[in-house]
Structure 1
Amino acid sequence: MQNVLTHLNRSAIGLLLGLLIMLSRPYPLSGIIHLADVTHAALFIGGFIGLGYRWFGGFVALAVTLDMLSIASGTDPFCLSPAYGFLLPAFAVIWYAGAACGNAPVKVQLPLGLAGFSLAQVTAFFISSGSFYFLSGKFVDPTLTEMLARTERYLPGYFSSSFIYVALFLTLAAAFALINRRQGVHEH
């Protein structure tokens, strides 16, 4: 996928992903349309299409800025805790999974991307939610058993909307790759 996209195309997609993050996080534009949070899907897609590390940093900075603006405007700061910094490694897992899948041969990118995103999303969940559960100070006597019970409750919602976004993107990418192949534009 990365071979077919020009720098301009990648930048345009990166800007669109940034806009979608702004539209889907709690503040300030999320009231315009109601989208499930796009951040994880945007990170995976950014890595997949070969956006540079500056884009990763930009997406992280955008997400943090939107979170802080949301809290400053009166949103409950419950999720802001000493564990908040663990979003960085959670986001990095998703980005790097996208990069690894985007570098795979085109014929395996769809199934590999779906599997890779699924694994990255579950890993990111355990990093972010696990650190919040054990380090935030918001839970009295946290236990692994209780965390696993909470995982059963919260993981499906955490996982599903981003998976749908990524599946849609990967399906479109596979379709474009097939069209390009038929028109004589080859990748890997």
Structure 2
Amino acid sequence: MQISEKSYICYPVSQIIRIKDKEFKPYISTSNISLAVAAVAEQINQELKNEDVVFLAVLNGSFMFASDLMKQIQLPCTISFIKLASYHGTSSSGTVNELVGLTEDLTDKTVVIIEDIVDTGNTLEKLTLILNQKKVKQIKVATLLFKPDAYKKNYPVHYAGMKIKNEFVVGYGLDYDGFGRNLKEIYVIV
């Protein structure tokens, strides 16, 4: 697993925000997000340059990361989307439900799963099972944020922008009950 050396990147609290019934403080700045995205893109560009690559973005949370990442990918590739859900409020429900399935042929393709955050690994496990039925060549995982203390599965996380503590975060695609995805920075619950 290749993880950025800049783990647990934080910056000083400048303002507390309220989303519904919870308060959050600034945690990861836009500049640190940009550095993490660039690092992930660079690794992918180097390691997968000779592969037939399909990026698979997990909606809704990965949309900002997927957009910024794809702008820096220099490989011939395609991108597709799947929607899975395992969160209710601020914690994982433990059950992953497939909401939108795949329709394209992935036989013998290298599939890069794009996640906003990998914590318990439940979503990753479900998606890996689905992809293995599609006879893919190999599966790689790219995530902006990785919570190693919460991770319960054995699937490798190949490209992670940052390790973070096992705390609830919002912003940059991550949400609390649907709110906060539009924030350009990442905030942590107070």
TM superposition score category, shorter chain reference = 0.3 to 0.5
Answer with 1 or 2: which has the greater Rg: 1
Tell me the TM-score normalized by structure 2: 0.35
Higher strand share: 2
Tell me the TM-score normalized by structure 1: 0.35
Higher helix share: 1
